[in-house]
Structure 1
């Protein structure tokens, strides 16, 4: 079995923590200027970086059974969680009638269906030279904003807008990430992050929805040609910020590194907790107290909990459609059963 790379597991767990944290603090971006700045800062890189890593690990696209493998890994859980979210929202009373629309992804589930389509698109784009493939992908992402019908349905907008990041990840190799660990790269990354931070503060009215990639230009209240120019700028910011993030990812193993292999569990499950939090009395209470420290701690605890072997073992049949994590428990039960059977037979023998 190939040894897992601590670098990529560290990157994945840091990014999924930011996903959870970003969803928590979204409740306060209108009321707290500092949180609004932080929210925009996170969204300049966390999903693009996550998508780049996903593309990096998609190099087995031509392996036998790969399409079925990603279908089982992505589409089946997507369909299941679409149903679960429909039930969840109904009982949460956010929707008066039960509403199930399998092709309109609920909230964070867009990533699963987009990830599936990105893998399919690779079958065509990996035949091109990297520069040509990326140029075409960016052109398509920019053009998508002109079509008002390209929205959240089938996650089509995000699929087209974010595909360049997936493509970049696919064309990168380990040496590409290694080069980002140099002192010069880190100094450049720090300068980039500082400039972007100043830019976010200088333009406080920046609509964070530009970073979502989920809307046509018309829905972003922008003239379409101007919207294309804005998205071009957003692309530039997201690419350089994702690279800056990778420059600071640690390469050695930490106590949290092992959680990096379970980010799908965190991604799929944390939404239920966040949705319960939003609109609750706790959300209102934190708005009047030390919001940020509490939410940082809560995000860390939730990330750790949903990455734990207990939660992943319990939910594996629903997320991975297998029970390999159950085997230790099954074996322990079997051993206990055999021990009890042996004790019972010894008792019978003693009576004889």
Structure 2
């Protein structure tokens, strides 16, 4: 049976992902949109760590009997095949919107990086189940990547910098998770934590000249800081992201509601919503004066939530299952 808590968490997490991508084109100038920029910073501090921890929890089957044919088939059909399909589709859309560029499979563009990262994380899942201190080892790998200055091939920076969150979700015990879900103290503290985070980000919004730190893909040279500086800031951002993720999970409804079933379609929302964001960019839709007002921010957020829910509905999933969750029985041996 599906646990409604996880479906609720996945749905809420992917709504945050859609908000982050839909707000992004409006927050490039730190002198403008201060409130929206602050909300954007808060969301980017934890929305991908949260989403990746949940993916880690649901990747436990890959850590057991990893060489079983069924596991290998699922690995290919849940990551590799969708990546080839959506990398091609997003490249074609980008070329139509701007100018023609050949597709580079080893340099994932836009949100398709996540499928490459998920493939790598799931392949390494058996290792993290036998390592004595898996989260600590993953954290060391996260910090070590800063010295290598990733080139972007196979999104090495994001694979390793987000790795601790995947490993945490993969290895956390069911009892620890139960304690988190039932902790009244954490639930009471969650709202003040988010209020404090927003106040801090509102103060930082006009002072931060780049949000590149929050994407977890660049080393210290690209960010023009020393290695020790990079390690300190990266670790701090990771800890803040973890704290906000735990606070968020404590607020997730534990029971089933009318929207719970949509959580099963979170990957559809993740992979599909980007087409709409890129289309609006291509049409110049973000240049409308409406988006520079608070009513516009609220409308954009409401539209983002609506898109997130729509993409996860059963009709959309039936229509596009061949691309997001292909079975491809014809391609594999039986048994």
Larger radius of gyration: 1
Q: Which range is displaced more, 196-205 or 16-25?
A: 196-205
**Pairwise CA distance, 1:256:** 1.2
> For 2:123 and 2:328, how far apart are their aligned partners in 1?
27
Q: Are 2:178 and 1:178 aligned?
A: yes
Q: Are 2:103 and 1:100 aligned?
A: yes
> For 1:114 and 1:67, how far apart are their aligned partners in 2?
16
Aligned match for 1:268, one of 271, 294, 298:
271
> For 1:173 and 1:136, how far apart are their aligned partners in 2?
18
1:1-352 superposed matches below 5 A? 3-29=1-27, 30=29, 31-61=32-62, 62-63=64-65, 64-65=68-69, 66-92=71-97, 94-95=98-99, 97-129=100-132, 132-148=133-149, 150-180=150-180, 181-204=182-205, 205-206=207-208, 207-285=210-288, 286-289=290-293, 290-322=295-327
Task: For structure 2, list consecutive stretches of 5 or more residues without a partner in the other structure.
Answer: 330-335
Instruction: Summarize deviations over 1:183-229 as a string: whole Å, max 9, x none.
Output: 21112333332332232233232332212111112112322221111
> 1:217–1:224: 8 Å Cα contact kept in structure 2?
yes
Task: For structure 1, list consecutive stretches of 5 or more residues without a partner in the other structure.
Answer: 325-352
> For 1:197 and 1:98, how far apart are their aligned partners in 2?
39
Aligned residues: 317
> For 2:167 and 2:7, how far apart are their aligned partners in 1?
20
Say if 1:124 and 1:176 are closer, same or farther in 2 by CA, change over 3 A. same
TM-score of the pair, normalised by structure 2: 0.90
Give me the CA root mean square deviation.
1.8
> For 1:34 and 1:198, how far apart are their aligned partners in 2?
10
> For 1:257 and 1:151, how far apart are their aligned partners in 2?
40
**Pairwise CA distance, 1:288:** 4.3
> For 1:44 and 1:116, how far apart are their aligned partners in 2?
23
4+ residue runs of structure 1 moved beyond 4 angstroms? none
Higher relative contact order structure (alpha carbons within 8 Å, sequence separation ≥ 6): 2
Structure 2 match to 1:343 = none
> For 1:143 and 1:233, how far apart are their aligned partners in 2?
15
> 2:60–2:125: 8 Å Cα contact kept in structure 1?
no
> For 1:225 and 1:159, how far apart are their aligned partners in 2?
21
> For 1:265 and 1:316, how far apart are their aligned partners in 2?
9
TM-score of the pair, normalised by structure 1: 0.85
